[in-house]
A and B are shown apart, each in its own frame.
Chain A
Amino acid sequence: QKEVEQNSGPLSVPEGAIASLNCTYSDRGSQSFFWYRQYSGKSPELIMFIYSNGDKEDGRFTAQLNKASQYVSLLIRDSQPSDSATYLCAVSSLGGGYNKLIFGAGTRLAVHP
């Protein structure tokens, strides 16, 4: 069973701080990595994706990928209370000739004023 692991949290950070969310995955052949944000009672929405080793920045968000360590992370700079949500890591995994998205259980982030 290919797995994606995340710390469930809650991760509590003060407003304005950097929030660091981490994810490890078991399938060494995975090629694509996604971060979704899910507010309580809502469906997941894509915030970032990354394919290559290194960093990818989009506004206050930075995704980091290290394929050798099978590790992907999401940094949120200048955290705001509106960032409080569950963050889901998803990994594209090839199985039976098809790509599937495998999700972690998510990390709950709480940004307090």
Chain B
Amino acid sequence: DVKVTQSSRYLVKRTGEKVFLECVQDMDHENMFWYRQDPGLGLRLIYFSYDVKMKEKGDIPEGYSVSREKKERFSLILESASTNQTSMYLCASSPYRGWTEAFFGQGTRLTVV
């Protein structure tokens, strides 16, 4: 089975802090994605990556950056956390570029106070 693991299930951070969310997949998938999920808004794509050191902006990249130094690991960085970034963050991976069946991690619920 594909396993996508997010480093934390719950996080509480203060406004202005730099926050790192880590995601690791164990199936040698090329593609990795970061989404946030908010009630009534569904899943919104923040950033995605199709290869090591490659990144593409999704629909809501403002306030976020990403890093993919190794194929199995995709990190989401909140440069200066704000209360409107309180959300559920979901990492996903999929096998290769033309196939977008995505496997999700367990999610990180981030609260910014």
Contacts and interface: CB of A to CB of B under 8 A. Distances in A.
Interface of B: 33, 35, 40-45, 48, 50, 56, 58-59, 90, 92, 97-107
B90 A44 contact: yes
Contacts, number: 54
6 contacts: A32-B99, A43-B107, A98-B97, A101-B102, A105-B40, A105-B41
Interface of A: 1, 8, 32, 34, 42-46, 49, 88, 90, 92, 96, 98-106
Nearest to B59: A1
A92 B92 CA distance: 14
B12 to A, nearest CB: 17
A43 B105 contact: yes
Contacts of A34: 100-102
